[in-house]
Amino acid sequence: MDHLKTGFHPSAAGQNEAAEMSEKNSHSHHDISVRSLAEFVFRRGDLFSQSGFVGPGRAMEGVRGHQRLQASRPPQYRSEVPLKWEEASQSLTLCVRGRIDGVMETPEGILLEEIKTTHKASIQEPSWLHLCQIRLYGALWIRKGETRPLLLQLTYYHLESGREQSFNVSEKTDVLEAFLMEAIDTYTQWLHLHEERCRQRDASLRSLEFPFPSMRHGQSEMIQKIEALQDHGGAMMVEAPTGIGKTMATLLPTLKALPHGKIAQCLIVSARGPGQRAFEGALQRLRDRGGKLRSITLTAQEKTCLLQGQSCDPNRCTRRVGYFDRLHPARIHALEKSIQHLSTEALQKLADEHDLCPHALGLDLAPWMDVLIGDYHYAFHPAASLDFIYGEEAPRISPLALLVDEAHNLAERGREIHSQQLDTRSWVGPLEIIKKKDPQAAECLRALWRCWMETLRPRAEFREKSIPTVPSYQGDLFEHDFPAETQVQDPSHPLVGRQIDADQLLLNHFAEAWQLWMRRFLDRSETILSQDATFDGAASWVELYFEMHGCLKQLLVDSEEHCLILKKEGDHIRFHRYCIDPSKALARSWGRSWSTLFFSATLHPQN
């Protein structure tokens, strides 16, 4: 058929798991970790920690701190002990899972230890959320049938000094049991509300018909093929001309698959706002025909932030303070009231009513919506993708239907998403603040800039270009002064692959010395910002930190899909790790979905 071209690849997961997933109609099964349960039910306080900053380097340091402390325990100490408990009702089963950091038999009883790493020299009072976690672990241990006395210990490990500070949590067995049941009851009450709404949705979708008097040429075939895709899972590409009615032809069969239980949500990503608004209009048309659907349009933080034109600064935003104290009433409001679609404006209004950050509220409501609409970033960007779909605790194959609109744009957007760049123009503002707080961190940036300028300086003999670098050695980079001009790149491993023009170089690799300056800057930044990230201008420093960390992280991964370009632009320099071929990175994202549909009017080149 000339009007419609498709390519369909069934999913192995779909063929193996279809029967199991279809059982969701009669009795649903929900998994939740101890940490997630504690956060959903008991979390209180501000949106971020007091300092507002936990860098990825600090997170890895925390993991290593856990391991060091566990390794220091006696031989009978068991680390990372799995626990779980299933609570079943007539309509659903909730499985609570977790791994307690340590278990050890003592003369007084069974010791359960939960370890938290910290940069605070002294903990005056343990975190309420941490206490909730250790209590839940204690209750899960009791559910194993344990009768010996139970000793609960919450230990804080100071990463800089290695000092331990422990808090003993004394609770009777019946108190711990009651605490677990309070958490389970609160969460299952929410699940029952959600599932009752889903049953009403499913009933409406079973009787929902095509919302127009007749189908256009090619629409019927397209709908049939997408029905097969949602039934079997996998991936499909559809090329159909403008005017065929692709929006409704993709949306209707996908939504009608929800009652069958193989998918639980639909994520629609589009390159531009008009495509997103087209789906919003199609959803409203289906609602007008009786479809009981909940949807949300996810919007970039900078477009919803009250601090317009400024970095997200915890110092200036009152919506962060007490955020989790007000979150659950907002969730109930969104679920129980007749808010069918949370547009940017509707989400802003709901956030205003509850005095919450609209961007964070949207992400907290997203797991409970039928349809999510947003930019490509929400499906394909490693830092912006949705944790409950693509995060570490998410299932290997999420019960998700991913619809990729205007898919002809995905290759170029994929290159953009999976490229990284450092532009010294963006350093100007933060540098003034950094110089005042930590001159050494500022010197790292200046040193990196000088290295790059020296690399780009014209040479009489290109092949013998001197490279600004420092030797690889252990110790403080500031202990010695190594003039950049005296350091020459090893000719057997040339840095520069090709000179593109007078101001632009194609690099073979990223010089080790440059990595050292970046690591030094990141280390210095983490030291300062982990102590306090609430001072004026800290937000721009944090932004630069994450930009450089993300770039360095990717530079450490050898990739044939990227090239490295260094370009001089006046007094400034732009380093670009450009993604030539994003296909593998994109596949890692869409491969996590039950089904993926790519569709466009122009998937083939014109010539």
Q: Give dist(CA 607, CA 604) in Å, integer.
A: 8
More confident residue, 312 or 510: 510
**Domain check: are 463 and 507 in the same one?**
yes
More confident residue, 242 or 227: 227
The mean-pLDDT minimum among 131-135, 532-536, 595-599 falls in 532-536
More confident residue, 131 or 59: 131
More confident residue, 300 or 548: 548
In the prediction, which pLDDT does 104 show?
95
**Domain check: are 528 and 569 in the same one?**
yes
pLDDT at 163 over 50: yes
pLDDT at 508 over 60: yes
**Per DSSP, what are the bridge partners of residue 105?**
110
**Do 601 and 239 contact (CB within 8 A), yes or no?**
yes
In a domain, 109, yes or no: yes
Q: Give dist(CA 231, CA 82) in Å, integer.
A: 35
In the prediction, which pLDDT does 485 show?
36
Q: Give dist(CA 318, CA 326) in Å, integer.
A: 13
Number of domains present in the structure of the chain:
3
**Domain check: are 208 and 338 in the same one?**
yes
pLDDT at 184 over 70: yes
CATH number, position 169: 3.90.320.10
Q: Give dist(CA 215, CA 309) in Å, integer.
A: 46
In a domain, 195, yes or no: no
Buried b (16+ CB within 10 A) or exposed e, 214-230: ebbebbebbbebbeebb
- The DSSP output letter for 161 is T
Question: Which among 162, 188, 214 is the end of a domain?
Answer: 188
Question: Which among 137, 157, 188 is the end of a domain?
Answer: 188
Average the pLDDT over 43-72 and give the result: 73
In a domain, 606, yes or no: no
Average the pLDDT over 286-290 and give the result: 96
**Domain check: are 71 and 173 in the same one?**
yes
pLDDT at 512 over 80: yes
Which stretch, 14-23, 222-231, 468-477, has highest mean pLDDT? 222-231
Average the pLDDT over 282-288 and give the result: 96
**Domain check: are 52 and 153 in the same one?**
yes
Structural domain of 565: 420-581
Confidence of residue 534 (pLDDT cuts 50, 70, 90): confident
**Domain check: are 77 and 217 in the same one?**
no
**Domain check: are 122 and 262 in the same one?**
no
In the prediction, which pLDDT does 26 show?
62
Confidence of residue 470 (pLDDT cuts 50, 70, 90): very low
Give per-residue pLDDT as tens, 231-258.
Answer: 999 999 999 888 889 999 999 999 999 9
Give per-residue pLDDT as tens, 333-347.
Answer: 988 776 799 999 999
More confident residue, 321 or 292: 292
CATH number, position 233: 3.40.50.300
Confidence of residue 421 (pLDDT cuts 50, 70, 90): very high
In a domain, 468, yes or no: yes
Q: Give dist(CA 234, CA 14) in Å, integer.
A: 7
In a domain, 120, yes or no: yes
pLDDT at 225 over 60: yes
**Domain check: are 138 and 249 in the same one?**
no
**Domain check: are 350 and 227 in the same one?**
yes
The region, left, alpha or beta by phi > 0 then psi within -120 to 50, assigned to residue 290 is left
In a domain, 607, yes or no: no
Confidence of residue 19 (pLDDT cuts 50, 70, 90): very low
- CB within 8 A of 405, min separation 6: which ones? 268, 269, 270, 271, 275, 276, 279, 599, 600
Alpha helices in 438-473 (DSSP H): 439-456
In a domain, 605, yes or no: no
**Domain check: are 438 and 399 in the same one?**
no
**Domain check: are 429 and 559 in the same one?**
yes
Query: What is the residue type of 100?
Result: I
**Domain check: are 36 and 11 in the same one?**
no
